[in-house]
Amino acid sequence: MANESAFPETEPGQIELKVLPAGKLLESRGTGSYFEDSGGLFRPLFNYIQSHEISMTTPVEARIEPGVMYFWVGASQEDKATANEGGVRVIEIPERKVAAIGVRGAYTRSNFEEARTVLLEWVSGQPGLSVVGEPWAVYWNGPMTPWFLKRSEVQVAVKSAAD
């Protein structure tokens, strides 16, 4: 069970702008879609954190095409994640400004696509705000959480005219 969150969760049904902190992430890359290969992406990350005795954190980030899964490394654990190994790459990311929509329900392609559409329409209606890159998924709960209790987000990097 996760004991540290990298940033605050966006409530289901809400859309907000927020700044994600800089941090260290563990990355597992696939060749197919995230929704076809999430188990194959998860296993190397789980093995890495287990072998390095790194505490699990939330959320898990997922790029959809091609599938990429990221585990955040908690600030107190960063010295344990130093080497790329076992199909896992250790990366540093800068602070990011994102638009996020909170979602409740199963972690499915259809739920992702529906939230993605709403989020992109919202961003396009905000004067002076533009999308930078493709939206991604952010998952807050583990696989044992019942589908109707699962919480996620769709996020997209944004910039304002002032940036």
Q: Which helix (H) or strand (E) holds 122?
A: helix 109-124
Local confidence band at 54 (pLDDT 50, 70, 90 cut-offs): very high
Contact 158, 123 (CB under 8 A): yes
- Quote the CA–CA distance of 144 and 47 in Å, as a whole number: 18
Please state the separation of Cα 24 from the chain's center in Å.
13
Contact 116, 35 (CB under 8 A): no
pTM, entire model:
0.93
Q: What is the pLDDT of residue 2?
A: 55
What is the average pLDDT score of the chain? Answer: 94
